[in-house]
Amino acid sequence: MTDTETWKGPPQVQELLAAQSYIADASLATAIFLSARLGKPLLVEGEPGCGKTEIAKVLSAATGGELIRLQCFEGLDSRSALYDWDYPRQLLMIRMHERETATELLEKQVFSERFLQRGPLLRALGGDATHRPVLLIDEVDRADEEFEGLLLEVLSDFQITVPEIGTLRATRPPLVVITSNRTRTLSDALKRRCLYAYVDYPDAEKELTILRRRVPLLDAAFARQIVAFVQRLRAEPDLAKRPGVAETLDWAAALLTLRIEALDPAAVATTLGFLIKDADDLELLRARHAALLESPE
Amino acid sequence: MSEGLDPSGAITRRLAEFCRFVRSCGLSVGVGAELDLGLAVALVDPMDRSTFRSACRATLAKSPEEVELHDRAFDAFWSGGPSKIPWTGTGTATTRPSPVRPGTRPKEADRPARPEPPTVSIPLGTWSASAPNVGHSLLAQPEKELHDLRDGARRLRRRVATLPGRRRARSHRGGVDVRDTLRRSLRYGGEFVELRRQHPSLRRGEFVVAWDVSGSMREHESRFFALVYALASVSRRARIFAFSTELTEITPEVRRHRYRRATVLTGARIALADGGTRIGGSLSELFDRASTLLRDRTTLILLSDGWDLGDPERVGRELERLARRCHAIVWVTPYTHAPGFEPRVAALQSALPHLDLLWGPEDFGPSSGRVRPGVVAPDPASVSGSTGRPRQDPTKARTAGKT
Q: Please, which residues 177-216 of chain A have a Cβ atom closer than 8 Å to chain B?
A: 181-185, 188, 191-198, 200
Task: Check pLDDT > 50 for residue B81.
Answer: no
* Interface with B, mutate which of A35, A182, A195, A238 (most B CBs under 10 A): A195
Q: CB-hemisphere CA count at 13 Å for A9?
A: 14
- Residues B340-357 have pLDDT tens digits of 777 778 888 888 888 888
Type and span of the H or E element at B301: strand B298-303
Q: pLDDT class for B113, splitting at 50, 70, 90?
A: very low
**Phi, psi (degrees; rounded to nearest 5) at B129:** -65, -25
Q: pLDDT class for A295, splitting at 50, 70, 90?
A: low
Q: For B58, which residue in chain A has the nearest alpha carbon? A: A196
Q: What is the pLDDT of residue B381?
A: 36
Identify all chain A residues contacting B44, using CB atoms and an 8 Å cutoff. Answer: 9-10, 30, 33-34
Do residue A195 and residue B36 have CB atoms under 8 angstroms apart?
yes
- Residues B4-57 have pLDDT tens digits of 566 667 788 888 989 988 888 878 888 889 999 999 988 888 788 889 999 999
CA–CA separation, B229 and B153 (whole Å): 10
The ipTM value here is: 0.83
Q: What is the pLDDT of residue B98?
A: 38
Do residue B50 and residue A283 have CB atoms under 8 angstroms apart?
no
Residues 6+ apart with CB under 8 A from B255: B232, B233, B238, B240, B262
Nearest to B57 among A27, A95, A280 (CB): A27
Of the candidates B280, B238, B267, the residue with the CA atom closest to the CA atom of residue B255: B238
How many beta carbons lie within 10 A of that of residue A85, not counting itself?
19
In contact, B398 and B369? CB cutoff 8 Å: no
Q: pLDDT class for A257, splitting at 50, 70, 90?
A: very high
- Residues A127-147 have pLDDT tens digits of 666 788 999 999 999 888 888
Torsion sign over Cα B176, B182, B187, B189: positive
Of the candidates A50, A34, A15, the residue with the CA atom closest to the CA atom of residue A42: A34
Do residue A283 and residue B58 have CB atoms under 8 angstroms apart?
no
Residues 6+ apart with CB under 8 A from A254: A271, A274
Q: Three-state SS for A71?
A: strand
Nearest to A9 among B44, B186, B189 (CB): B44
* Interface with A, mutate which of B41, B62, B386 (most A CBs under 10 A): B62
CA–CA separation, A167 and A79 (whole Å): 16
DSSP code for A5 = G
Nearest to A73 among B39, B57, B166 (CB): B166
Tell me, what amino acid is at A247? E
Contacts 24+ apart (CB under 8 A), B45-50: B45/A9, B46/B11, B49/B78, B50/A26
- Residues B131-161 have pLDDT tens digits of 444 456 677 778 888 888 888 888 888 877 7
CA R_g for chain A: 24
- Residues B171-212 have pLDDT tens digits of 887 888 888 888 888 777 777 888 888 887 777 778 899 999
The answer to whether A238 contacts chain B (CB < 8 Å) is yes
Q: Three-state SS for B269?
A: helix
Instruction: Find which of A221-235, B159-173, B197-211, B286-300 is predicted with most confidence, using mean pLDDT.
Output: A221-235
- Residues B385-400 have pLDDT tens digits of 333 344 444 333 333 3
Do residue A94 and residue B287 have CB atoms under 8 angstroms apart?
no
CA–CA separation, A295 and A131 (whole Å): 51
Task: Check pLDDT > 90 for residue A177.
Answer: yes
Q: What is the DSSP string of A174-209?
A: PEEEEEE--SSPPPHHHHHTSEEEEEPPPPHHHHHH
Task: Check pLDDT > 90 for residue A187.
Answer: no
Nearest to A27 among B54, B59, B62 (CB): B54
Q: What is the pLDDT of residue B389?
A: 41
